[in-house]
């Protein structure tokens, strides 16, 4: 069975947490497409051009322990604005989306570009302040030194860059269901998404 759930949204809105939970509940494969761009961005730290980094990406690159850092996030946003980088990663994502057994993909252009024919399209968002606090807590727990104000500024800068890029800008698909998690628990968000998927699978 091929069944694709496309989940888009800005950083720290909860889409990754919801996506992983939903994939586990339904037994679907899960792909955090942001990791592809984070890994590509991280490889540029080693002197590769963004296009070289994307074209040489391997499964091992997705296991790097620095992919959740703030630097990797900013690098991901920069390389994601390059059309040739996105082109190099599209086929991998589309093949995963149509794997047997179902798939959940989260990112910024899944419902609009990668899987416009997905059976379920969601756009998960939250207020800037809520997202910044979530990301700040993650970074502090990971041992990074930063401030809430800097994290908020970085998030807004990244949102602006992601929404303004010419290729695959961050935006909801026209037929996506928008879920705002600002005042929701993760359990409540997961429960809502589970019901939406069940409605499309019966």
For 101-125, how does the pLDDT look when each residue is reduced to its tens digit (9 = 90+)?
A: 999 999 999 999 999 999 999 999 9
Confirm or deny that 176 is annotated as ligand binding. Answer: no
What is the greatest pairwise CA distance in the chain?
50
pLDDT at 168: 85
Query: Which residues on adjacent β-strands are paired with residue 120?
Result: 5
Residue 102 burial (10 A CB sphere; 0-12, 13-18, 19+): buried
Does 10 show up as a binding residue in the annotation?
Answer: yes
Residue 17 assigned to a binding site: yes
Q: What is the mean pLDDT of the chain?
A: 93
CA angle 148, 165, 125 (to 5 degrees): 45
State pLDDT tens for residues 126-180.
999 999 999 999 999 989 999 999 999 999 999 999 899 888 889 999 999 999 9
From the list 169, 189, 194, the residue with the least C-alpha distance to 179 is 189
13 known member of a binding site:
yes
To 5 degrees, how large is the angle CA 173–CA 74–CA 12? Answer: 55
Q: Is 34 flagged in the annotation as binding?
A: no
Instruction: Give the Cα-Cα-Cα angle 122, 154, 61 (nearest 5 degrees).
Output: 70
Domains, the chain, with CATH or none: 4-197 (3.40.50.300)
pTM: 0.85
- The DSSP call for residue 103 is E
The answer to whether 9 is annotated as binding is yes
Alpha-helical (H) ranges within the chain are 15-26, 33-44, 50-55, 70-80, 83-97, 128-141, 148-164, 186-201
Residue 16 assigned to a binding site:
yes
Q: Residue 141: what pLDDT?
A: 93
């Amino acid at each position: 069975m091929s069944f694709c759930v496309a989940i888009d949204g800005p950083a720290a809105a909860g889409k990754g947490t919801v996506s992983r939970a939903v994939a586990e509940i339904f037994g679907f494969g899960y792909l955090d497409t942001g990791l592809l761009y984070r890994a590509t961005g991280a490889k540029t730290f080693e002197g590769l051009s963004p296009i070289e980094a994307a074209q040489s990406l391997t499964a091992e690159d997705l296991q790097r322990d620095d992919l959740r850092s703030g630097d990797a996030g900013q690098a991901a946003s920069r390389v994601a604005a390059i059309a040739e980088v996105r082109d190099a990663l599209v086929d991998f994502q589309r093949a995963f989306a149509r794997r047997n057994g179902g798939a959940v993909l989260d990112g910024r252009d899944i419902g609009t570009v990668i899987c416009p024919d997905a059976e379920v399209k969601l756009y998960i968002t939250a207020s800037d302040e809520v997202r910044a606090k979530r990301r700040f807590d993650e970074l502090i727990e990971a041992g990074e030194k930063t401030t809430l104000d800097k994290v908020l500024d970085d998030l807004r800068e990244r949102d602006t860059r992601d929404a303004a890029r010419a290729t695959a800008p961050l935006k909801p698909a026209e037929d996506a269901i928008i879920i705002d998690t600002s005042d929701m628990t993760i359990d409540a968000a997961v429960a809502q998404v589970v019901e939406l998927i069940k409605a499309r699978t019966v």
